[in-house]
């Protein structure tokens, strides 16, 4: 039995409006049957001939945290993910995203992983781009699987030098207007590193009374985060599907649905919430189908 990192709350406030995983049989049928069609479409000459969808969107989301102090209400968090610095994302292509983040004037910036595609030489362009953004309470990140394909230690060190505080199985406590907000970061969780040991290390010494946000690259671990009492988790990894055939009854029809029940947007498990961003980069080929790149601006209430 895990000891939650938060104290039990009786009669919590209503949470923000989210997409809850329910009607699992229907969703699984839609996801798995139509995802097969998506694979055909994504691999067809039509999809390969399409140009990169570079018209990114800013998604404005309001998230209700049940233990948020009054003074922290209205805190703005900008988030991007899955930059994938490399052959399909140059330094110049990153700059419009950075400019828009500056214009949004967030209090905090979060980047949950995949800064590079798979080579340490790709760290320099993304570091140069990230140096152009700042936030009063800092820029924070965690590693993604592609950062490990390169060298997670090297990439993280370069990002630290560029002003991004990398949370590698550790936490940081922000002091905002005299109140505290904890940011928890875990290294990319894979088969050789289960969630529990990484998370346990990350929250060592963290007071249970402080509201918290978890940066975890892959969104698959919402159930685990919920058992630990995480208030809010942010993830990337899925690219929102990258190739999206359709959206049916709230379900995104995409090949990515074969691997994850969490594709894009807000989800909830008990008292824990998750936001999955579509990210800004691509993997495989520089194509997005019905799935524009995303900057997220989250307002805490």
- Architecture of domain 19-300 in CATH? 4-Layer Sandwich (3.60)
Residue 299 pLDDT:
98
Q: Cα–Cα distance between 137 and 94 in angstroms, integer?
A: 22
Residue 292 pLDDT:
96
**Given pLDDT bands bounded at 50, 70 and 90, which one contains residue 5?**
low
Q: Domain limits of the chain? A: 19-300
Please report, rounded to a whole number, the percentage of residues in the chain having pLDDT higher than 70: 81
Helix (H, G, I), strand (E, B) or coil at 168: coil
Tokens 């004037």 belong to: 105
**Given pLDDT bands bounded at 50, 70 and 90, which one contains residue 248?**
confident
Quick one: which of 293, 274, 198 has its CA closest to 232? 274
The answer on pLDDT for 27 being more than 80 is no
Across 81-92, average pLDDT: 98
Tokens 């102090």 belong to: 69
pLDDT digits (tens, 9 = 90+) for 224-244: 999 999 999 999 999 999 999
Q: Cα–Cα distance between 9 and 22 in angstroms, integer?
A: 24
Q: Cα–Cα distance between 91 and 86 in angstroms, integer?
A: 9
Quick one: which of 55, 53, 60, 75 has its CA closest to 296? 60
What is the radius of gyration, based on Cα positions, of the chain?
A: 18
Residue 192 pLDDT:
66
Across 204-223, average pLDDT: 96
Residue 193 pLDDT:
73
Q: Which of 135-144, 257-266, 282-291 has the highest mean pLDDT?
A: 135-144
Q: Cα–Cα distance between 132 and 152 in angstroms, integer?
A: 22
């Amino acid at each position: 039995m895990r000891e939650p990192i938060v104290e039990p709350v009786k009669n919590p406030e209503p949470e923000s409006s989210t997409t809850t995983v329910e009607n699992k049989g229907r969703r699984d049928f839609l996801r798995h049957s139509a995802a097969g069609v998506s694979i055909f479409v994504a691999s067809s000459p039509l999809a390969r001939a399409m140009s990169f969808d570079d018209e990114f969107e800013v998604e404005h989301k309001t998230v209700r945290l049940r233990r948020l102090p009054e003074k922290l209400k209205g805190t703005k968090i900008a988030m991007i993910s899955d930059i994938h610095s490399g052959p399909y994302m140059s330094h110049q292509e990153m700059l419009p995203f950075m400019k828009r983040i500056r214009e949004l004037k967030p209090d905090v910036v979060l980047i949950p992983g995949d800064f590079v595609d798979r080579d340490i030489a790709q760290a320099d362009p993304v570091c140069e781009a990230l140096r152009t953004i700042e936030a009063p309470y800092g820029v924070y990140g965690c590693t993604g699987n592609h950062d490990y394909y390169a060298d997670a230690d090297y990439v993280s060190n370069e990002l630290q030098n560029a002003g991004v505080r990398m949370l590698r199985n550790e936490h940081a406590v922000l002091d905002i207007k005299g109140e505290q907000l904890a940011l928890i970061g875990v290294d990319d969780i894979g088969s050789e590193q289960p969630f529990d040991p990484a998370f346990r290390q990350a929250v060592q010494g963290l007071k249970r009374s402080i509201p918290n946000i978890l940066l975890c690259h892959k969104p698959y671990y919402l159930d685990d985060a919920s058992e630990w009492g995480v208030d809010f988790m942010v993830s990337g990894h899925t690219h929102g599907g990258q190739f999206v055939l359709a959206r049916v009854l709230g379900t995104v029809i995409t090949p990515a649905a074969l691997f994850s029940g969490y594709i894009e947007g807000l989800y909830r498990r008990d008292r824990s919430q998750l936001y999955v961003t579509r990210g800004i980069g691509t993997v495989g080929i520089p194509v997005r189908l019905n799935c524009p790149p995303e900057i997220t601006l989250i307002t805490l209430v």
